[in-house]
Amino acid sequence: MRSLLDGDAAYLPVPAHDTAAARGLCTALGAGEPIDPRACLVVSTSGTTGTPKGAMHSPETLHASATGTAQALGGPGSWLLTLPPHHIAGLQVLLRSLAAGYEPVVVDVGEGFDPAVLPAAVDAMTGPRKYTSLVPLQLRKALEHPEATRALAGLDAILVGGAATPPALADAAVAAGLRMVRTYGMSETAGGCVYDGRPLPGTRMRIAEPAADGVGRVELGGDTVAFGYRNIAEHPAFASPGWFRTDDLGAVDDGLLRIAGRADEAISTGGLTVVPQVVEAVIEALDGVAVCAVFGVPDERLGDAVAVAVVPDGAAPELGALQRAVTARLDRYAVPRHLLVLDELPVRGPGKVDRRALRDEFATRNRSRLRSDHRDSLLD
């Protein structure tokens, strides 16, 4: 692992617990084939298309990320790994610790995340400062476990990223004494490069083609940006030297980056555009909603209709209550027309909601309902 920082060879991290996925990544990203001599790391994206791309990093981009993180958090320290190490967020936990001169403490999450292991793992950490990185789902599980919460409260910072953190969850973490830092970044920027809305040292951010409300495509630049994709020459995302054009929509308010949602997840309904994250913020503020995800489903009249999947906190909410809440806060076209109640949201990569899986689940349930309705009509 230290050789990654030294640039002695080029690595392609793959999942240790999924042989088929590992083989697929090796094939898609050309493992064993000649590579740009600048590259020491090809790390796969967790994009929505299902086709992985490999962001190419040099020792310089990885060192810049580790240095910028240490400066932003108050100094170098040891790190606790609770994320899959083949994703950039997990890999960077290891590299930051090694760059600081400390062996990282590793929690095996191949069979899932168990917050009960956190107290012993935190006790095993060394160094003057102690850090970890979680996705929101892990943070939620940890807060439900008193001993895990107390262990995390002893850390100097907890990076939370990979997906948006619901405000209620963030408030609960702060109330429990956790030093939470919300991060934003991706494989192409060597992981998180914007902390609590502010760029790391050496990172730049700008909004391309902003609308009247200041929202436009987020672009990130600086020392941590990859120099391209593996075997995809002149990709438009890297068209501006030193900059990466993300798929996220956002604005910069008083120097702080605010993410509005993803351009490729926006729902076109009746000729109007709905950003899922805006609707989710309203619904997740309601009593009885632990977490939710908004997505589009085919509709003959509207093109797409707004649907919402909810993981309840207690009794499941009714669709009518959700519709009234959204109507009171947002335009009428943003109101969800369908509700899925789930035990948990499907995720891809390190904690990102899999909206395509939600659409598939909605279609499956809808087909089952139609078959049931048809069978009932025959019995009548």
What is the average pLDDT across 128-138? 94
Q: What is the pLDDT of residues 257-273, one digit of tens each?
A: 998 888 878 888 887 88
pTM of the full structure? 0.80
97/156 Cα distance (integer angstroms):
14
Given a cut of 50, whether residue 58 has pLDDT beyond it is yes
What end-to-end distance do the CA atoms of the chain give, in Å?
A: 67
Query: Among 195, 175, 177, which residue's Cα sits nearest to residue 185?
Result: 195
Superfamily of domain 266-379: ANL, C-terminal domain (3.30.300.30)
Given a cut of 50, whether residue 83 has pLDDT beyond it is yes
pLDDT of residue 377: 43
292/342 Cα distance (integer angstroms):
9
- By percentage, how much of the chain surpasses pLDDT 90? 64
Determine contact, residues 111/136, Cβ cutoff 8 Å: no
What is the average pLDDT across 299-304? 86
What is residue 229's DSSP assignment? Answer: B
Domain residue extents for the chain = 2-261, 266-379
Helix (H) or strand (E) holding 6: helix 2-6
Question: 379 pLDDT band (50/70/90 cuts)?
Answer: very low
What is the average pLDDT across 51-67? 93
Q: What is the pLDDT of residues 223-268, one digit of tens each?
A: 999 999 998 888 999 999 899 999 899 999 999 999 888 887 888 8
What is the average pLDDT across 130-136? 95
Least confident of 39-53, 78-92, 336-350: 39-53
Determine contact, residues 305/337, Cβ cutoff 8 Å: yes
Reported CATH class of domain 2-261: alpha beta
